[in-house]
Each structure stands twice: as structure tokens, then as C-alpha cells.
Amino acid sequence: MTDLAPVHRALLSVSDKTGLVELGQALSDRGVELLSTGGSAKALRDAGLVVKDVADVTGFPEMMDGRVKTLHPGVHGGLLGLRDNDQHMAAMTAHGIKPIDLLVVNLYPFEETVAKDADYDTCIENIDIGGPAMIRAAAKNHAFVNVVVDVEDYQPLLDELAANDGQTTYAFRQRLALTAYARTGAYDAAVSSWMADALNEQAPRRRAVAGKLAQTLRYGENPHQNAAFYVDGSNRPGVATATQLQGKELSYNNINDTDAAFELVSEFLPQDGPACAIIKHANPCGVARGETLKDAYMRAFDCDRTSAFGGIIALNSTLDGETAEEICNIFTEVVIAPGAHQDAKDIFAKKKNLRLLTTPGLANPAESGLMLRQVSGGYLVQDKDNGRLDLSDLKVVTKRAPTDQELADMLFAWRVAKHVKSNAIVYVKDGATVGVGAGQMSRVDSCRIAARKSQDMAEALGLAAPLTRGSVVASDAFFPFADGLLTAAEAGATAVIQPGGSMRDDEVIAAADEAGLAMVMTGMRHFRH
């Protein structure tokens, strides 16, 4: 094997025809013989290029609706034959097999077909067989063969040929092979994941996951950690599909926190009014509705102004100039919203480091999906927490029933608590968080921290009393003892929403009755570890 390998003969068979004609023309100009099939061959011929049909190589016509066309020794022998192996070359000569030096294949659009909610039979028809087989063969023989599976590699290939007088280097072919195997791996993962869903197989024997590189990152959570961002092709509105309009590149922590912020604000539909969520270290430090978007932002900001500094802001409706002006009064890392008015863009343009991301809409909080978490030696897989309740799902368990305002605030608090790290405690008053306690080992401590934050803000804002007075409180899981509930009551909470299900529920209910609290149970838990 030599480092440089010439390209004399190329097979081009692509589903995505982007850039195909230009590539074919450039190869033809270098004297490369073009082989092709079906629509790819037609596109090349329509551009005036000389193309040889694969059927002329195999001696068989395309058949079975195109299912059988390249699965033949004339193709695979040309891809797999070792050029420096005398026996291989003798076999190729004996059977009239010519080497294929370049394979350009992109696969049937299976992922796109699934994304369109196509029926089972249509999805099955869009599973490529010949393409992956050829890709794997060419990638295995990268000592001599180039395999291109992505349109974005067309120009690097042409640059490589230009730099080496119609040849490619071994290192280049290695990189192409790596990309090729990753592509077939991702394709198989998409097929197997779809089939598991189609068959309602919740725990298939083997689970494959894949992603496509969106961007490399300067580092991970810390400077000594390498990191990159991959997308899974699901096209869910959020950080993975957003358009960045300005600001420096997102960091690992920015992406993680922006995802948390947008998933939270998507709980609140714009038709029910503007909403804003401010996130710091993947936890909400303020969430609120308002009469206007600016009002929603200010109310969220007033929950914990200290933590909001350097945070992530997510909005449930189009960013306007008035809100943008207010946001610019403090340092903010990222703002994400389903659109932005031009005046808002102009205002943000003065803050060059402030990232502005826009999405095509909100995420659907009720949509199903999978969540993965790595552990040593494997990973955990679970359904995405798409649990969502409305007022009719709440069960009043105390002597005093909550008022309509308390009920509205409890439901608001419950939707926020779903996005707070356990143990989670959320105080809400009039559609805005007024205290958030997150991630403590003791639920009592979460209650105390949330109340203390509210007290600190009351002092900062010159209020006579903390806003927890007259608030409602949500707990992401049951109160195992009455002490957490009583701590919330001491902070001024008048109503409680919690899952229930503790062995001491009766004790907790009795404590609520004694304190004059209204309490509802959801029957649903929202642990977020």
C-alpha cells in the first residue's frame, strides 16, 4: 500500500442530488470514469456528462423497484479488491471486475420519512440496503478507496485531488472511512429506534443511539474537558434547532442551560399570556407570566435578581424592543425566543457578546421522547418526563379547599417544579415564582433556601414582607414528614401542591388542616436528579 492512491473510476448513487452535477463535472474534467444508477445517472446525463450504467457493469438490470441493482460482485469486487494483492487482482481480471476508486453515496431519506409521520410500509421502503453495503465495503478498503457520504465532503475531495494530481492521501481516506462508518451506524440506529417504537418495544435487547456533529466546543463544563455538541435529527424546537442571530459561540454550559430554559418556558402557551423563564446552572431562578413580555421578564427577574445575573432567558413569544431594552440592563449570556422583532435585534446588536437565538416555535411539553444518562459501564434510558396535569387532575385533601387564585398558582408552581432539580420547592404568587429551592438533600432545606431567597429580595426591593406571604408552594415529591410542610407554612404559604403517596400522608394532611392550609395532591412525581 502506498500513501497516494489515484482516482480513475467513480460510482455515484445519491438520494440527495445537491452538488451532484458539479461534482460529476469536476471528476469528469479530471478524466475519471463515471458509473451511476437511476435518478443520479439521469441527472448527470442531463448535464451533458458521459455516464456508464451500473447495469452494464453487473449484467443485470435494476429490478424489484430498485431494491436490487448494486448488490453484485462486479460492484463489491471493484470496491473490496486489494490493489496490492496479486490473488485479488488475478480474480478481478479473471471475472472482468474493474476497480472502483471512489464511491459517492448518500442514503434513502429514512430519517426524513419518519419525521413526516409516514406509515409503516412507507418507512420500510425507505430503508436503504445497497447503499450501506457499498459504504461499508468501500470504507473497509480505505487503503485504496475513497468513500463520500456527505455533501459537505464534496469540496474537500476535489481539493484533495487538486493538491495531489488526481490522487488522495491515506490520511484523507481514513477520515472519509470514519465518517462513513459513523453514517451507517447512525442510519441503523435510526431504523432500530423507529422499529422499537413501531412495535412498542420499550426495552429492546440492543439500543443504539447516534448524533451528527453540530459544533465543536472550546471545552466542556470545565477547561480540562473536551466537548462537542451533536444533534439527533428530531427537529424539536429548542437549542438544537435554533438560529443564532448574534453573539459569540455557545459554550457547553450555555447549551445545557438554554435547553433547560426553553423546555421550561414551553410549558406556558403564548395564548395564555406572555411568560419568561430565567435559568442559572440548569435551575430556574425566576419564572413568571405578565400582561406584557416585559412585565413577565421583570416579574421573573424580581424573584432572584442576584442569581439572574449572567443567566439564560427564555421567552414564550416573540421578543420585542421594549423587553430587549430591559434585558440589556444586566449581563445576560443567552436569550432564546420563538422569533424577534427587528427593533429588538437592533437593540441587542449593541451587546455583541449577548447570544440571541430564535426558534420556529415552542417545544411541545407533552411530546414523547427518550432521555439518556451515562453511568459507568453503560447508560440509563427512560421516557422523557412529559407528565402534564390540568386543574381537573388535582385532588383536594384538606378541610379547606383552595381558592381559584390559589389553584391557578398551584398549577403554575407545579409546572415550574417539574424543571427544578430535586429536592424541589417552588413558591408562587400571582403567576410568578417568589422563591425557588433546588437540589438539596433535605426537602426542609429546600423550603428554607427558597424562603430565604424571597426574604433577601424583599429587602432589596424595599418590601414590607417577603412575597412568600400569601403564596402557594409546590413540592416535586411528597413530604415524607410534616416538617417540610410546616416550614413552608412558616414562610407564609397558604396552599400546597404535592404528589402525595407517603406512608405519612395522613399526618401531613392533619398538619395542613391544623395550620389552615389548603392542599391538593397530584398523584404524579417530578423527580429531576
HSE (CB half, 13 Å, CA atoms) of 266?
24
* Best CA proximity match to 259, nearest among 243, 275, 244, 237: 237
- Cell numbers that stand for 79 in this block: 470496491
Q: What are phi and psi of 105, to 5 degrees?
A: -140, 130
Rounded-to-integer distance, Cα 365 and Cα 362, Å:
9
Nearest to 301 by CA among 330, 344, 334, 333: 330
- Which residues does residue 275 pair with via DSSP β-bridges, in sequence order? 289
* Nearest CA among 338, 35, 328, 24 for reference residue 157: 24
Q: How far is CA 305 from CA 265, 297, 308, in A?
A: 18, 11, 5
Verify whether residue 529 is a known catalytic residue: no
Secondary element (H or E) of residue 245? strand 243-246
Q: Which of 88, 64, 80 is nearest to 11 (CA)?
A: 80
Of the candidates 155, 172, 167, 170, the residue with the CA atom closest to the CA atom of residue 32: 167
Annotated active-site residue 429? The verdict is: no
> Among residues 59, 63, 60, 77, which one has the least CA distance to residue 11?
77
Residue 164, preceding peptide bond in cis (omega within 30° of 0): no
Q: How far apart are CA 66 and CA 13, in angstroms?
A: 12
Torsion of the alpha carbons at 23, 29, 33 and 36, rounded to the nearest 10: 30
Among 88, 98, 281, 351, the one annotated catalytic: 281
Helix-, strand-, coil-residue percentages of the chain, each rounded to 5? 40, 20, 40
Q: What would you measure as the largest C-alpha separation in the chain, in angstroms?
A: 96
Give me the DSSP letters along 87-123: HHHHHHHHTTPPP--EEEEE---HHHHHHTT--HHHH
Considering the candidates 140, 341, 345, 384, report the single residue annotated as catalytic.
140
Cell of 517: 392550609
- List the catalytic residues: 140, 281
